[in-house]
Amino acid sequence: MSDFKNVKSRKRPIALVALALAALFLSSCSSSSEDAAAPAEGCVAGELATVEAGALIIATGEPAYYPWVIDDAPESGQGFEAAIAYAVAEKLGYGKDAVKWIRSTFDGAIAPGPKDFDFNLQQYSITTERAEVVDFSSPYYKANQAIVSFKGSKLDGVTDLAGITAAGAKLGAAVSTTSLDVIESQLGLKASVFNDNAGGVTALKNKQIDGLVVDLPTAFYLSAVEIDNGIIVGQIDGSDAGDSGFGLLLAKDSPITGCVTDAVDALTSDGTIAAITQEWLANTAGAPVLK
């Protein structure tokens, strides 16, 4: 009995110290979260366990396309994803100078093993299947899918989803996109699959396909700039249902996933993301919805 008591009394100071430490840690956290930089709770601003201490390495595709990154220069902060990246970095306590950009391919980013970036953004849609292999932050944008075509095509004048099938239209999409899923799963059609949107645009210009499915912001860009007599046939209703939105991609079990997610959530709730969306993707309203 006395032995047991001894053990217990010896344990108590340790518990007290632990409690004191916890209190200290909590108070330091709450005090820092009142700073102007306002980093996410539990994450020390500018001192996260990043790949390179003191810096935040952000990856994007090569080339990165309008309107996600303007002129393929993410360093400028111009473009929707470039702006989002810098906003998240700032929230995490990394100023513009502490951000380093690298480029990665789609496959390079999802390969197993250590990553050379802290997070990667190139319109990665979050799915539970993918989340088994990599980590995602909470979504920063959710896009409907839309069909781009040209005046006088089989799809010109189509006003509902049944009309697409009735027109016997051949649709294309880039590989690794939600667009491809929408054609095959939601519309039940067989898609022509291209390496990237550039291939799809060429095929559309050549009239080898009748329509190209892309996310709505890209659809506006392609129909206005890339395709002669380009039109947006419409958004595909409910095409965002199976899609949880675009997320920042991190290595599986990355130590900073929680902090990055907190930062995205904070930016969503304080309206920063809405403002960035308004700035770069404002013109995406007003496309007809195909049901």
Partner 1 sequence: MTSPISDSENWQPSELERRRRAERQRKTQKNVLIAGISSVLVLGTFSIILVNSPGWISLRDTFFKWAYGVEVLPKVILGFTTNITLTLIAGSSVALLGLLLALVRTSRSPALTPFRFLATIYVDVFRGIPMILVILLIGFGIPALQIPGVTNEVLILGTIAVIITYTAYVAEVLRSGILTVHPSQRAAARSLGLSHFQTLRHVVLPQAIKRVTPPLLNDLVALIKDTGLISILGVTDAVRAAQIQTAKSFNYTPYVMAALLFLAVTIPLTRYTDRILRRSMERQNAQGLT
Q: Which of these ranges, 36-44, 86-94, 207-215, 223-231, lies near partner 1 under the rule CB under 8 A?
A: 207-215
Cα first-last separation, the chain: 76
Nearer to partner 1, 97 or 253 (CB): 253
Sole binder of partner 1 in the list 6, 30, 208, 283 (CB under 8 A): 208
Token pair in block for residue 93: 């306590």
Binding of residue 188 to partner 1 (CB under 8 A): no
Q: Which residues fall within 8 angstroms of residue 203, CB to CB, at 6 or more apart?
A: 172, 192, 194, 209, 212
Q: Tell me whether residue 92 or residue 126 sits nearer to partner 1 (CB atom).
A: 126
Query: Does 282 help bind partner 1 (rule: CB under 8 A)?
Result: no
Centroid of chain to Cα 276:
14
DSSP 63: S
Q: Determine contact, residues 141/268, Cβ cutoff 8 Å.
A: no
Is 180 a binding residue for partner 1 by CB under 8 A? The answer is yes
DSSP string, 1-50: -HHHHHHHHHHHHHHHHHHHHHHHHHHHHHHHTTSSS-PPTTS-TT-S--
Which amino acid appears at position 36 of this protein? Answer: A
Q: Whole-number minimum distance, CB 198 to partner 1, in Å? A: 10
Of 194, 220, 221, 280, the one binding partner 1 (CB under 8 A) is 194
User: Nearest approach, Cβ of 188 to partner 1 (angstroms)?
Assistant: 15
> What is the signed CA dihedral for 280, 283, 287, 289, rounded to 10 degrees?
40
Interaction of residue 106 with partner 1, rule CB under 8 A: yes
Would you state the structure tokens that stand for residue 278, as one six-digit string? Answer: 């308004």
The residues in 233-272 that bind partner 1, with binding defined as CB under 8 A, are 252
Residue 202 binds to partner 1 (criterion: CB under 8 A): yes
Q: Is 159 in the site for partner 1 (CB under 8 A)?
A: no
97, 132, 168, 285: residue in contact with partner 1 (rule CB under 8 A): 132
Q: Are 92 and 259 in contact (CB under 8 A)?
A: yes
Which residues form the interface with partner 1 (CB under 8 A)?
Answer: 106-107, 110-113, 127, 129-130, 132-134, 172, 175-177, 180-181, 192-195, 199-200, 202-203, 205-209, 252
